[in-house]
């Protein structure tokens, strides 16, 4: 590969090696994110805790990610990319080690926070680096390879975990991830170079506090809805506090000369559209991957491993299609690619709305595979289209903003679809544990709501296609 033009202040680097190192780190971090979804029952048994306490293993990971991602734009401006990636990879490896040997549930939660701190920096940093070192006409292909990791790793997590748990302890999940995390840290040390320019920016502590309370409060509220309901005091207070502090955070960023998160990215009409579309995409992705295991295990009486197998065709489809989506993007742009992706979400809603307890899992696996094929046309193409409409100095802020709102979209989507499912089931038969037939109706109604979200995304995609070509700003 030809080397890009580089500043004298930056060392020579090999883009291919950096691409491999970054994608490997993303794969390990995202694989870890979903490994514990099916491991909560044995964790509850080992530490003698209930389901409400156990769910914090996944909730605290999401919250830490959501709190850290918004400030990564400042970190990327202030520190070298190599140093940041080493810190992120080191934190992730350290958290994995602590989790594997955690003597109590408190230590397991602390380990998940440390892991998430590393992963939260790693994802936007990876995208910023790749979008900086590759020319505009190759960004789609490169981000397609990133999409392979983002789509494939989280989807195989439950399948791998179900297989490991069938003969081993939940601690084995972290034991498997640990050597991969250490190998990535070693690779970063030897092969990563600094490829971004630093600026003498100072951190604004009030902004950090407001960002933490704002984004953290909203993510906590959305994560609590499934277990507590939309009108619980906990959810309402967190929503109000998060909304007010987020409003104050945005006002402060607009007033600062050097904000930690630059909302000037929304001056781009393309970027304004890709944010809600990205949120819908993640809502559909996380929501579907949450509903289908509930259907398999709570309606059909299947195992966690069977749930993972149902999701596997979708992981393969998304991983296989993502690089091709990137190449199509580079040649033709986001227009019809994104329209087709959302159209597939609308079409594949039908088999899930019509499914019964006896629907063959093979048929559902094929439908999910087609659904994920469509999502591969949305994930990275949307992000790349938004970033391509921004000037170079806003790339870090654009990726941080995009990742933050996608996290929020995934949380809202999961909360909405799960609450629709449980609310519908409770309305049919108001019992603490609704019977399978009531849950079946709830799952179908939840997928119907997902279809409405898909249709909204399709409408936005058609608007995106009609926008005039936006000149690419490189300076």
**Under 8 Å between Cβ of 38 and 54:** no
134-166: pLDDT as tens digits? 888 888 888 888 877 776 777 677 778 878 887
Instruction: With a cut of 60, say whether residue 7 has pLDDT above it.
Output: no
Of the ranges 176-185, 198-207, 320-329, the best mean pLDDT one: 176-185
Residue position matching structure tokens 């987020």: 246
Closest of 409, 422, 161 to residue 295, by C-alpha: 422
196-230: pLDDT as tens digits? 777 777 888 888 899 888 888 888 888 777 667 77
Q: Which residues 6+ apart lie within 8 Å of 427 measured at CB? A: none
Instruction: With a cut of 60, say whether residue 5 has pLDDT above it.
Output: no
The residue count for the chain:
475
Give the Cα separation of 166 and 160 in Å (integer): 10
361-413: pLDDT as tens digits? 899 999 999 999 999 899 888 988 888 888 888 888 888 888 888 888 888 88
Instruction: With a cut of 60, say whether residue 43 has pLDDT above it.
Output: yes
Q: Which residues 6+ apart lie within 8 Å of 399 measured at CB? A: 73, 124, 127, 128, 131, 383, 387
Alpha helical stretches, state H, 256-360: 269-294, 304-332, 335-354
**Under 8 Å between Cβ of 408 and 219:** yes
**Where is average pLDDT lowest: 10-14, 124-128, 209-213?**
10-14
Instruction: With a cut of 70, say whether residue 12 has pLDDT above it.
Output: no
Please tell me the predicted confidence (pLDDT) of residue 420: 87
Q: How many other C-beta atoms are found inside a 10 Å radius of the C-beta of residue 356? A: 10
- Two tokens, residue 368: 């999910």
Average pLDDT, the chain: 84
Q: How many other C-beta atoms are found inside a 10 Å radius of the C-beta of residue 109? A: 18
Terminal C-alpha separation, the chain: 23
Please tell me the predicted confidence (pLDDT) of residue 417: 87
Please tell me the predicted confidence (pLDDT) of residue 464: 86
Q: What percent of the chain has pLDDT over 70?
A: 93
Q: What is the DSSP string of 129-174?
A: HHHHHS-GGGHHHHHHHHHHHHHHHHHHHHHHHHHHHTTS-THHHH
Residue position matching structure tokens 């909304």: 243
- Two tokens, residue 350: 């039908």
Q: Residues 61, 66, 71, 75: is their CA dihedral positive or negative? A: positive
Please tell me the predicted confidence (pLDDT) of residue 475: 43
Please tell me the predicted confidence (pLDDT) of residue 100: 93
CA–CA–CA angle 266, 200, 81 (5° rounding) = 75
H/E element, 228: helix 205-228
Closest of 232, 170, 159 to residue 39, by C-alpha: 170
Closest of 46, 41, 62, 50 to residue 162, by C-alpha: 41
Give the Cα separation of 409 and 222 in Å (integer): 10
Please tell me the predicted confidence (pLDDT) of residue 260: 86
Residue position matching structure tokens 């601690």: 171
**Where is average pLDDT lowest: 182-196, 244-258, 295-309, 400-414?**
295-309
Residue 102 burial class via C-beta count within 10 angstroms: exposed 0-12, middle 13-18, buried 19 and up: buried
Please tell me the predicted confidence (pLDDT) of residue 98: 95
Torsion of CA 385, 386, 391, 395, to 10 degrees: -110
Q: What percent of the chain has pLDDT over 90?
A: 29
Give the Cα separation of 199 and 157 in Å (integer): 38
Alpha-carbon distances of 135 from 7, 129, 253, 352, 388, rounded to whole Å: 15, 12, 30, 41, 10
Q: What is the DSSP string of 34-93?
A: HHGGGTHHHHHHHHT--HHHHTHHHHHHHHHHHHHGGGHHHHHHHS-HHHHHHHHHHHHH
């Amino acid at each position: 590969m030809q080397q890009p033009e580089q500043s004298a202040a930056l060392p020579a680097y090999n883009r291919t090696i950096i691409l491999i190192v970054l994608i490997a780190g993303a794969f390990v971090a995202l694989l870890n994110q979903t490994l514990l979804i099916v491991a909560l029952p044995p964790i509850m048994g080992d530490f003698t805790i209930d389901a409400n306490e156990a769910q914090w293993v996944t909730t605290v990971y999401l919250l830490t990610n959501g709190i850290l991602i918004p400030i990564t734009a400042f970190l990327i401006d202030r520190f070298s990319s190599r140093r940041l990636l080493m810190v992120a990879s080191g934190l992730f490896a350290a958290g994995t080690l602590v989790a594997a040997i955690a003597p109590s549930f408190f230590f397991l939660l602390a380990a998940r926070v440390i892991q998430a701190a590393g992963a939260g920096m790693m994802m936007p940093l990876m995208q910023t680096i790749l979008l900086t070192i590759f020319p505009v006409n190759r960004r789609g292909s490169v981000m397609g390879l990133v999409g392979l990791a983002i789509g494939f790793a989280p989807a195989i997590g439950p399948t791998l975990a179900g297989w490991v748990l069938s003969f081993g302890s939940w601690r084995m999940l972290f034991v498997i991830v640990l050597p991969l995390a250490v190998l990535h840290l070693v690779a970063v040390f030897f092969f990563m170079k600094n490829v971004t320019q630093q600026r003498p920016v100072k951190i604004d502590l009030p902004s950090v506090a407001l960002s933490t309370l704002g984004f953290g409060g909203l993510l906590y509220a959305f994560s609590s809805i499934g277990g507590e309901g939309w009108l619980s005091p906990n959810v309402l207070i967190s929503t109000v506090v998060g909304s007010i502090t987020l409003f104050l955070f945005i006002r402060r960023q607009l007033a600062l000369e050097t904000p930690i998160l630059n909302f000037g990215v929304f001056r781009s009409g393309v970027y304004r559209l890709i944010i809600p579309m990205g949120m819908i995409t993640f809502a559909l992705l996380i929501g579907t991957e949450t509903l289908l295991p509930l259907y398999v295990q709570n309606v059909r009486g299947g195992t966690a491993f069977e749930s993972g197998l149902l999701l596997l065709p979708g992981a393969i489809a998304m991983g296989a299609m993502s690089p091709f989506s990137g190449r199509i993007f580079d040649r033709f742009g986001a227009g019809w690619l994104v329209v087709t992706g959302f159209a597939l979400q609308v079409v594949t809603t039908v088999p899930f709305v019509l499914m019964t307890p006896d629907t063959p899992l093979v048929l559902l696996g094929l439908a999910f595979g087609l659904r994920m094929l469509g999502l591969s046309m949305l994930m990275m193409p949307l992000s790349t289209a938004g970033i391509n409409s921004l000037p170079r100095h806003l790339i870090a802020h654009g990726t941080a903003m995009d990742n933050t709102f996608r996290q929020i979209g995934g949380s809202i989507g999961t909360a909405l679809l799960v609450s629709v499912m449980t609310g519908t089931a409770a309305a049919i038969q108001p019992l603490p544990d609704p019977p399978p037939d009531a849950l079946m109706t709830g799952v179908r109604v939840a997928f119907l709501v997902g279809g409405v979200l898909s249709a909204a995304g399709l409408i936005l995609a058609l608007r995106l296609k009609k926008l005039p070509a936006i000149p690419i700003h490189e300076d």
